[in-house]
Amino acid sequence: MSHLILLFLLFLAPALADGGSQESTPNLCSNDVSHKRQKRDWIWNQMHIKEEIDTPLPHHVGKITSSVRNNNAKYIIEGEYANTIFKVEETSGDVYAFERLDREKKAEYELTALIIDRTNNRSLERPSKFIIKVYDINDNAPVFVQKVFNGSVPEMSPVGTSVTKVTAVDADDPTVSGHATVTYQVTTGGEYFTIDDSG
């Protein structure tokens, strides 16, 4: 009987050893994976600039930064308006605007960031697109959608009878509080007529 128990333990011991090694293997793999996940990547700040800035040009917009560590690294931007309106300082990644911008003409610009080795022009990181948003200032007055609005009202109509509706629009950003809000006022004939904020 003792021989049978001894044989059983001899067969069981390798299985237990395998089971223990199977539990430890995933931990080794997960450590390897965590080391492999350390990769180069772009680090972004929000890119934005106010329109119609009246300080001397150029105006700082933001910064493109890669985690690449290379003494020969050089930042480049590409796309419409790259190297004309917008330029990048090749060593720091600072992006500047060389023109005053008007949000009503163009509200955002899409550019591509690259980082290359200046000795051989080899790309050190995959190119990445980014957007520069132009923030609105309240610089537009409302304008009427037509020159003349005609209205009429029967005589002896009760107070509050609608006469006509007028409409004005503002080109400023409607998502910024108060920038595109239109209010109306009767400047002549106010003793007979009133107007509300709907026109």
Cβ neighbours, 10 Å, residue 27: 9
The answer to whether residue 53 scores a pLDDT higher than 60 is yes
Mean pLDDT, rounded, for 164-188: 87
Structure-token pair, residue 23: 């539990």
**pLDDT tens-digit map of 74-108:** 999 999 899 999 999 999 999 999 999 999 899 99
Share of the chain above pLDDT 90, in %: 57
Domains of the chain: residue spans and CATH: 46-135 (2.60.40.60), 137-198 (2.60.40.60)
Q: What whole-number distance in Å separates Cα of residue 176 and Cα of residue 111?
A: 25
Q: Are 43 and 125 in contact (CB under 8 A)?
A: no
* pLDDT band at residue 45 using 50, 70 and 90 as cut-offs: low
Per-residue pLDDT at 8: 44
Mean pLDDT, rounded, for 162-167: 94
CA distances from 167 to 94, 116, 153, 164, 189 (A): 44, 54, 19, 10, 19
Per-residue pLDDT at 11: 47
Q: Are 168 and 144 in contact (CB under 8 A)?
A: yes
Cβ neighbours, 10 Å, residue 113: 24
The answer to whether residue 4 scores a pLDDT higher than 70 is no
Ranges 22-31, 58-67, 184-193: which has the least confidence:
22-31
* pLDDT band at residue 119 using 50, 70 and 90 as cut-offs: very high
The answer to whether residue 118 scores a pLDDT higher than 90 is yes
